[in-house]
Chains A and B, each alone.
Chain A
């Protein structure tokens, strides 16, 4: 298996623009997680899905953030409008029934 795939790997955008991050989980995994990593807050969970259904979005910072999982092999995290404080590395992870989570390579987002 190719592991968790994320795109783009790097994104530079201007404040106010819409940003869409993409994730393809490991085939057969029924959990998908979005995390954000910053120097100040470390690694924190934003939202997770089980069988394509959002279960816990309590970590989503505000209404500017939204996430979808239209099918078992694809998820998006959207920020609209983006702000400089959204600059971070965004990780997608997936997991199966063993509860072990596997992380993608991350998307480094810079909002100027």
Chain B
């Protein structure tokens, strides 16, 4: 099956700093989503981005499907950005999402 790798596994930032999270996948996909799992365990949709670039406030994401990677940018980080960020992909011809192992982000004041 498809493999999804995220890096870095852990990230500690000072409030106000910028960061880039990466997601690599091993096969062609027709769906890619970024989620934020907050400290209460809730999975929050950030982006549905099978290709191209999207922005939402301080967050933006870019997926280059032909090169099998996606990037999530967080600018001017805030303590509320802390949590785990997951990339999940849907392999062509299948319905299920395959999740990466996540990037654990801690933003300190």
Size band of the A side of the interface? Answer: 20 to 34
Question: CB of A12 within 8 A of chain B?
Answer: no
Question: Main SS of the interface on chain B?
Answer: strand
Residue of A31, A42, A108 near B95 (CB, 8 A) is A31
Residues of B within 8 A of A48 (CB): 95-96
Residues of A within 8 A of B96 (CB): 33, 45, 48, 56, 59
Which A residues have a C-beta under 8 Å from some C-beta of B?
31, 33, 42-45, 48, 50, 55-56, 59, 89, 91, 98-103, 105-106, 108
Residues of B within 8 A of A42 (CB): 99, 101-102
Size band of the B side of the interface? Answer: 10 to 19
Q: Identify which of residues 22-50 in chain B touch chain A, using a CB-to-CB cut-off of 8 Å.
A: 30-31, 33, 35, 41-43, 45, 48
Among residues of A, the one whose C-beta sits closest to the C-beta of B50 is: A99
- Please name the 8 residue pairs, one residue from A and one from B, whose CB atoms are nearest each other, closest first: A103-B43, A100-B48, A43-B99, A45-B96, A99-B31, A105-B42, A106-B41, A42-B101
Distance in Å from the Cβ of A46 to the closest Cβ of chain B? 10
Query: Other than the known A56-B95, A103-B42, what 15 A-B pairs have Cβ atoms closer than 8 Å?
Result: A33-B97, A43-B86, A43-B88, A45-B97, A55-B95, A59-B96, A99-B30, A99-B95, A100-B33, A100-B45, A100-B48, A103-B35, A103-B45, A106-B41, A106-B43
Residue of B31, B99, B101 near A100 (CB, 8 A) is B31
